[in-house]
Structure 1
Amino acid sequence: MSYVDFSSDAFIAAFFLYCFAFLFYVVTIAGKKWSNRDPIKHEQRWSRISFVTSTLGLIAHLTFFFTRWIGSGQIPTSNMYEFITFLGMAIMIAFTIVYAIYRKPLLGMFALPLVVLVVAYASVFPQEVQPLIPALSSIWLKVHVTTAALGEAFFAVGFAAGLMYLLRVVDFKQTSKEAKRDQFWVEFSLYTIVLVIGFIAIVFIFRGAGYQATFTQENVTIDSKGVDHSSTDTAEYTLPPIVKPYNSTADHMDSFLGMDKPLFEAPSWMKGVNAGRKLNTVIWSVIAGSILYGLIRLLFRKRIGAVIHPLMGDIDPDDLDEISYRAIAIGFPVFTLGALIFAMIWANIAWGRFWGWDPKEVWALISWLYYSAYLHFRLSRGWQGKRSSWLAVIGFVVILFTLVGVNLVIAGLHSYAGV
């Protein structure tokens, strides 16, 4: 067995250990209400089991990382699959550090699902080892990517603690205007997470079914001399094409529920043969996530936030607020080094300039400015509690768009990461 094959087995082991650790954290928190034993002893026992299991998952994840590095001969952060798996590992490292400081098992009940989602999301992308392009063959790639991801991982822990704070303090039984507004946005945040789960589920369902559709797009451009240049691009779909690429023809399309042709065509302003596929993926994510959200609501007969809120009754909200702030405070200087300083050094080596207004560079700067504002409001204006938690939640949405939206939607020098 090669190192790369062994790394794949270690990755699968890490995923299942993370899943078990999440379930054990749920037992740690929810089991206190039904345990016949002393609730304190119950929490101590199961929190140890949960932490040991999550640590074993991290060890398996580290094994995946280093064995894939050895087997491929390059650091496994060069494409979306490798980077997202590294991000999941970094979130676990950040969680382990924060947990060692505060010893709050409830944090695991929210951080572990985030790790599971990130790891599952990584599995959507092609997992083959891909050769590095010349721009990526630099020691500064290793330094830039790893430190930036580690900083983002601490932001993820801050997001988890911030969302926990909101679920703790927002009373879903209140009927005032302010309470209803808070209830709506907390529920919307949870709905967004369910959409991500729906996206992952629908991709694996159709991938398991072997669904395929292929479209050919003809492109005609006229250069400055008036000469026509035509080219042909191909887009491969693994989800039934509700939307096909603009000005394209279907080469092959599996039938799904009687649908043997696309329902719509992507608008002309969506450039590129893959634009229609990406829009199609977004539509399927909304459909699958909304169905899943509806089933959850039907099962519990109440909003998800209203289901989770009672579990938070024994938690001190000030502790959650402190954890969220400390996690972001730790991550900010690490992110500054990785996403800005080391990134500019690498950009100068790879492309001969420190800054070029590439979309990924711009959004990295926006993310840095956002968290700079967060720390300013927190330290200088005394923004704590609910306002600080909302900033932590929104900030991680900005990070996610920088990681996913820019790589997969906006074309730029960093588009290699979307391969």
Structure 2
Amino acid sequence: MNLLDISKQAFVIAFLLYCVAFCFYVVTITGKTWKNRDPQVHERKWGKISFITSTLGLITHLVYVATRWAWSGHIPVSNMYEFMSFLSLMIIMAFTVLYLIYRKALLGLFATPLGIVVMAYAAVFPKDVQPLIPSLRSIWLYIHVTLAAAGESFFAIACAAGLMYLLRTVDFKGTDKSARRQKLWLEFTFYSIIIVVGFIVSVFAFRAAGYEAVFTPKPTETEQSRTVEMVYNLPPIVAPHNSQLVSADSFLGMSKPWMEVPSWFKGESSGRKTNTLVWAFITGTVLYGLLRLIIRKPISEAVSPAVKGLDADLLDEISYRSIAIGFPVFTLGALVFAMIWAQQAWGRFWGWDPKEVWALITWLFYSVYLHLRLSRGFHGRKASWLAVLGFLVVMFTLVGVNLIIAGLHSYAGTD
């Protein structure tokens, strides 16, 4: 067994340990209401078991990073599989730091699922070890990416704490305009999370079924037909622009695409990426509908009892402290050191590349958050909504920009 095999097995084991830890955190929180149980003794016992399990997952995850690094000769953050795997590691690490400070097991109930979803999302992408392209062969790769991921991981914990605060404080029985609006946006937040889960489910389901559709570009008057094939692993609802279908497996009678991607969607992979996003929305919406049928109430309302009785002020503080820790780290990694690396790699500090623009938008967003928090007294619900929205901006910077917008950072996208 070589180091790469050990790395792959460590990845799977870490993922399973995180899932088990999440189940233990559920028992820690929900078990306090069981009959004949002392709530404090139960939480202390199961909280310790849960934390030990998530820490074992973290150690195994570090083994994955170390062995893949030793095999490839560079830190494993050079493509979407490696970076998202690394980000999930940093999310669990940030949770571990904050748990040691606050000793609140409930944080694990929301932080570990974030790490699990990000890790599952990473597994969607090609796992082959690829040699670094010339612009990535730099010590700044280690500094820029690791610090950026570390900052983003604390933003993820802030989002989890902010979401818990909202679930704790929103009046689900209220019928006034403000209460309805709060409930609507909370439900939309959970719907957005399920869309990501739908993306993961759809990719793994059709991959397991071995689905494949193949397109080739149509010849034009000035250009002969190319032999480049565009392979879909999801049924083609959206075809590449100006392409022809070569072959496609049958799925529910679907024999041809419903539409073509617009010509202004740049890049040969734009059709496949758009098709993947469409399937994510379809699968996520179906999953959301099934969950609503099963629980017969809004998902946010069904989850809210888990945070009943929790100190809302403490959740607000955890969210703020997480952003206060993550912001300077993100500033150094995603902006300062990134610009130094850009100067060395491309001969300019700033070039308005889509990834650079969205990194700046993320930085400005959290700058506004801290300004409002410190000078305008933004606490509680307003601050929590900003923490949740901020991480959605982070995820679009990491995922949306790579999958939708072509740029110099497109080497981090899917195969």
| Normalised TM-score (structure 2) | 0.98
Conservation of the 8 A alpha-carbon contact between 1:143 and 1:342: yes
In 2, Cα distance between the equivalents of 1:408 and 1:118? 15
Task: Kindly indicate whether the alpha-carbon contact (under 8 Å) linking 1:234 and 1:273 is maintained by their aligned counterparts in 2.
Answer: no
**Greater displacement, 386-395 / 29-38:** 29-38
Q: 1:92 maps to what in 2?
A: 92
Q: Distance in 1 between matches of 2:57 and 2:349?
A: 38
What is residue 347 of structure 1 aligned with on the other side? 342
Rounded Cα–Cα distance in structure 2 between residues aligned with 1:33 and 1:12? 33
Q: Is 1:137 matched up with 2:132?
A: no
1:76 Cα deviation from its structure 2 partner: 0.4
Q: Which residue of 1 aligns with 2:357?
A: 362
Q: Determine the C-alpha separation between the residues in 1 that align with 2:267 and 2:132.
A: 24
CA deviations 1:165-191 (Å, max 9, x no partner) are: 111101111111100000000000001
Q: CA deviation at 1:218?
A: 3.5
Residue number among 315, 326, 337 corresponding to 1:320 in the alignment = 315
Cα distance per residue 1:282-303 (max 9 Å; x no partner): 1111111111111111111101
Q: What root-mean-square deviation, in Å, do the aligned CA atoms of Structure 1 and Structure 2 show?
A: 1.2
* AA matched with 2:57: G
Measured after TM superposition, the shift of residue 220 of structure 1 is 5.2
Aligned residue runs from structure 1 range 20-419, under 5 A:
20-218=20-218, 228-229=222-223, 232=226, 233-418=228-413, 419=415
- Native 8 Å contact 2:266 2:406 kept in 1: no
The SS at the match of 1:262 is coil
Look up the equivalent residue of 1:314 and give its one-letter code: G
Aligned-residue offset at 1:230: 5.1
2: distance between equivalents of 1:157 and 1:127? 27
Distance 1:389 1:157 in 2: 12
Which stretch shifts more, 231-240 or 404-413?
A: 231-240
Q: 1 CA distance for matches of 2:263 and 2:352?
A: 25
- Structure 2 vs 1, CA of residues 379 and 48 (structure 1 numbering), >3 Å: closer, same or farther? same
- Measure, in 2, the Cα distance between the counterparts of 1:4 and 1:36: 49
Q: CA offset at residue 35 of structure 1?
A: 4.3
Letter in 1 for 2:186: V
Residue type matched to 1:350 in 2? Answer: A
DSSP-derived class of the 1:398 partner: helix
Q: Post-superposition shift, 1:379? A: 0.3
Alignment length, in residue pairs?
413
* Structure 1 contact 217–273 (Cα < 8 Å) conserved: no
CA distance in 2, matches of 1:348, 1:270: 29
**2:87 is matched by which residue type in structure 1?**
L
Distance 2:405 2:342 in 1: 19
What's the secondary structure of 1:413's corresponding residue?
coil
- After superposition, the C-alpha distances for 1:356-389 in whole angstroms (9 at most, x for unaligned) are 1111111111110110000000000000000000
Identify unmatched segments of 5+ residues in structure 1.
222-227
**C-alpha distance in 2, partners of 1:381/1:235?**
52
Contact between 1:219 and 1:230, CA under 8 Å: does it hold in 2?
yes
Spell out, residue by residue over 1:186-227, the C-alpha distance to the aligned partner (whole angstroms, 9 max, x if none).
000001101111111111010000000111124759xxxxxx
Mapped to 2, the partners of 1:69 and 1:205 lie a distance apart of 30
Equivalent residue, structure 2, for 1:5: 5
Structure 1 SS opposite 2:160: helix
Cα offset for 1:404?
0.7
Please state how far the C-alpha of 1:272 moved relative to its aligned partner: 2.7
- TM-superposed CA distance for 1:313, in Å, is 1.2
SS of 1:249 mapped into structure 2: strand
d(CA) in 1 for partners of 2:136 and 2:250? 41
Kept after mapping to 2: 8 A contact 1:21/1:51? yes
State the TM-score, normalized to the length of structure 1. 0.97
Q: 1:230 to 1:405 in 2, by over 3 A?
A: farther
Q: 1:318-355 CA deviation, whole Å, 9 max, x = no partner?
A: 01000000000000000000001110111111111111
Maintained 8 Å contact 1:17/1:53: yes
Residue of structure 2 equivalent to 1:224: none
- CA offsets per residue over residues 51-106 of structure 1, 9 Å max, x none? 00000000000000010000111110111100000000010111000111011111
